[in-house]
Structures are given as C-alpha cells and as structure tokens.
A and B are shown apart, each in its own frame.
Chain A
C-alpha cells in the first residue's frame, strides 16, 4: 500500500520566503504539452511532448502583518519568481524530494476573501516556469 500523508510539516517557500505556517494546501502539477504526431498509416492518434506548462496552486491564510502573506505576495503580481514545495521539513533526500518551479508567473492575487466568522484565505496559482526536482 502506497500512501503519502501530509500532516503538519511540509515546507513551502515563495520567492525564498518560508510561508509554511500560512499555507494549508499545495497542488504542484508538472505538465508537458502534447503535440500530435499522428501520420498517414497510423490507426491511432499519437503524441509527443512539447513545452512544459507547469503550475502550482497554493492556499494561504491572508495576513497583512509585516513579513506575512500579503507582504510576500503583493510585490510578486505580474512578475516571475520561484516556488518550492517539500513533503516534510526534514533534510532533502530520495524520500523527501524538493520540487521547484523556477521563474513561474503570478498573474493575480486576491486581496481580500472575507466572510463573517471565518479566516481570510486565498488561493493563488503560479503558472509556467521550469520544473525541477532535487533529492540532495
């Protein structure tokens, strides 16, 4: 049985800033665009890999205090940056790889997502960038 259970200690950085304690969800998706290579004589459609089209979506508690979520993200809208996600805060290794999206783009940032009696949370998506994984 293979499982990956995320409890409380993944590591998330945005632009090198550790926002782990403000993050509640991370979805890191590696995508290689498919280019059709089907030709005469084929009886099925075939595809080859094109450009990478990666993205990472993060859910944060919004905070306007110094060095918190808003201070980190507001200056990144419309720019490229680097995001890393690691399953646990332990040392990087084969069983705890660090996933990096380098020069990914932040198009938009929800400034306020407020509801009465609830914490302000925001979902942001970084698109593009070069995907890499390191085990050391």
Chain B
C-alpha cells in the first residue's frame, strides 16, 4: 500500500508520504490529507483443463 500526499500542508501533492514515528495515518486519511493506493493484484491464471484426445 502506498500513501500519497493529497494536501500541500503535508508536503508535495502527489509525492509518496513516509510517516515518521507517532504520526496517525488513519487520521490523515480520514481528514483527506493522504490517499492510499493499493497496487493492482495480478489476476490469477486459470489453467485450462488439458484437452484429451
């Protein structure tokens, strides 16, 4: 999960946020200062059944 800055009060908007000790991440997300992005998961491959001849 990446934390992206969403307010200039926190830093450069669009930059990744690296929290220091004691920072309440949930409060920053709830207040709209941060957005969290989750990297898309790879879709699971479905193996097709072997064709029997």
Contacts and interface: CB of A to CB of B under 8 A. Distances in A.
Contacts of A58: none
B33 to A, nearest CB: 6
A15 B23 contact: yes
A67 B34 CA distance: 10
Interface in A41-88: 66-67, 71-72, 74-76, 79-82
A104 B28 CA distance: 16
B30 interface: yes
B26 interface: yes
Interface string B22-48: 111011101111000000000000000
B24 A80 contact: yes
Interface residues of A, number: 20
Nearest to B11: A16
A135 to B, nearest CB: 17
Place the interface of chain B in its size category: 10 to 19
Nearest to A71: B31
Given A72-B31, A81-B27, A102 B22 contact: yes
A15 B23 CA distance: 5
Given A16-B19, A17-B33, A81-B22, A75 B7 contact: no
Contacts of A15: 23-24, 27-28
B20 to A, nearest CB: 7
